[in-house]
Structures are given as structure tokens and as C-alpha cells.
């Protein structure tokens, strides 16, 4: 991978590794809009201040938008979530393998 490609990956990881960022995206993966309160409940354990910060950052990154019915994942965010969809299958296999030990 070139240094330019590495920089792009590092920029993406920097956005996603912020506390609760992936949880916010994951909570919206079904495509249904969620109000702030519903999103807070869906994420679980997130304070309003932290959720506001993550929403702002994810909107600036182009992953989220706010429509008349609440927050939704943008087409860019949907593309990201599609690429992360294998995480669920991997997580299931990983936890099952660890439970056998």
C-alpha cells in the first residue's frame, strides 16, 4: 500500500475509532431514521453530549445526515456499512472459537 493509501485508511480509522462512532453507525444500519432520543437508546450508554459530538463528526465526515424523521446514514455511510457487514459473521465465529477454549 502506498503512503497516500495508508493516509486515507488512517483518516477513516481516526473517525471510526472515536468512542461510540461505530455504534452510532451500526444503530442506523437498517436504514430507518431515528430521532436523537431513539438513537441514544439504540446505542446504549452514551451521554447526550457524546452523542451530539459523534453526530457532528459523522455528519462532517459525510456518513450521517438529518432528515425530517431523524438521523439517517448517507449513501457514503451505507457503502461503509456494507463493507463492514462481514464484521457480524466474523464476530460470531471469533466469539464461538474463544468460547471453546
Q: Chain-centre distance of CA 50, in angstroms?
A: 14
How far apart CA 10 and CA 4 sit, in angstroms, is: 10
Residues 63/55, Cβ–Cβ less than 8 Å = no
What's 66's DSSP letter? Answer: E
State the pLDDT at residue 5: 79
For residue 35, report the phi and psi dihedrals to the nearest 5 degrees.
Answer: -70, 170
How far apart CA 9 and CA 16 sit, in angstroms, is: 11
pTM of the entire predicted model:
0.85
Q: Give pLDDT tens digits along the chain (101 positions).
A: 788 778 989 999 999 999 999 999 999 999 999 999 999 999 999 999 999 999 999 999 999 999 999 999 999 999 999 998 888 889 999 999 999 87
Amino acid at each position: 500500500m502506498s503512503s497516500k493509501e495508508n493516509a486515507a485508511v488512517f483518516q477513516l480509522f481516526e473517525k471510526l475509532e472515536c468512542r461510540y462512532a461505530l455504534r452510532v453507525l451500526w444503530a442506523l444500519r437498517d436504514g430507518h431514521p431515528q430521532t436523537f432520543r431513539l438513537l441514544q437508546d439504540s446505542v446504549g450508554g452514551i451521554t447526550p453530549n457524546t452523542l451530539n459530538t459523534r453526530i457532528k463528526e459523522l455528519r462532517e465526515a459525510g456518513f450521517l445526515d438529518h432528515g425530517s424523521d431523524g438521523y439517517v446514514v448517507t449513501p457514503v455511510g451505507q457503502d461503509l456499512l456494507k463493507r463492514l457487514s462481514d464484521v457480524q459473521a466474523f464476530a460470531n465465529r471469533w466469539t464461538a472459537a474463544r468460547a471453546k477454549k
